[in-house]
Amino acid sequence: MITTLIEKIKETKAPICVGLDPMLAYIPDAVKQAAFAEKGENLEGAAEACLRFNEAILRETADLIPAVKPQIAMYEQFGVPGLIAYEKTVRLAKELGLIVIADVKRGDIGSTSAAYAEGHLGSITIGEKQFFPFDADMATVNPYLGSDGVKPFLEVCERCDKGIFVLVKTSNPSSGELQDRLIDGEPLYARVADLTSSWGASLMEGEWSNVGAVVGATYPKMLSELRARMPHTFFLIPGYGAQGGKAEDLAVAFNEKGEGGIVNSSRGIIAAWKQEQYREFGAEGFAKAARQATLDMIADLRRCIRFA
């Protein structure tokens, strides 16, 4: 899977992941009202609005990017209808040729972790038939319950040719409350980085492992440190744009061939129509605004990241 992701990044020359994190506040009134007219002003209507919003953005940006990252919480807030919208979003993205990184941040132990892994990346057998519940290509995993929570995902990755991104150093301001705490003179995130590298050693595809790491763009010094510490670990990099991460800070994550990471932008793209620089598109042109914001992000990253 990591080889496929890298190939798609090279094809597009865009190490970009669009975060499909629909909030009702991001969705133009016309889209919401059309969905409410069909489904009602309720959970079903809200989920339908999210799905229509996602579809428009996907169809405008799919030719520019290698991957999308739907954050499942934005769908779970609408209950079962929201999860149906999530599933349909995943399937449409894959139909359009995109890699889907499920931002689910699952982390538990034993049979619970195995169920998460099978549900999001793997399959389940019912009777004599095999089903693929959500069937994302990659998923984010919380490692703070230890190896017991990660190993079931590793097993599914090996069996189904999927990938994961382990939370190592996240982009949020309070991440340091735990992740930066020193243990025998080293920060906890460094210990997690070493574990992530060891988990990935058996799932290598050439230079890179199918076990990647989430490393935030908002901490460039740590990003550089972790790249040196994890030379064969592909990075999923949140925090660009709206959270303060800059293209200049991200170059350290990439090698001379332009490999090493994929940078996520969520509201900076999907809610671009609400930003002053894209006002000309109007609410009705929200998807075209998202396309332009994607093109602008690509141009910005290409200033700092060279592609062989």
Question: Which residues are identified as catalytic?
Answer: 105
Would you say 232 and 283 are in contact if contact means Cβ atoms under 8 Å apart? no
In sign, the C-alpha dihedral spanning 27, 28, 34, 40 is: positive
Distance (Å, whole) CA 202 – CA 114: 19
- 16: DSSP letter: E
> What is the gyration radius of the CA atoms in the chain, in angstroms?
19
Q: Is 78 exposed, middle or buried (0-12, 13-18, 19+ CB in 10 A)?
A: buried
Helix axes 43-61, 286-302, angle to 10 degrees: 50
Q: How many CB atoms lie within 10 A of CB 33?
A: 13
Helix axes 220-229, 188-200, angle to 10 degrees: 40
Nearest residue to 232 (alpha-carbon basis) of 198, 199, 206, 207: 207
User: Measuring CA to CA, how many Å separate 103 from each of 70, 222, 262?
Assistant: 6, 22, 14
Q: Is 201 exposed, middle or buried (0-12, 13-18, 19+ CB in 10 A)?
A: exposed
Would you say 201 and 248 are in contact if contact means Cβ atoms under 8 Å apart? no
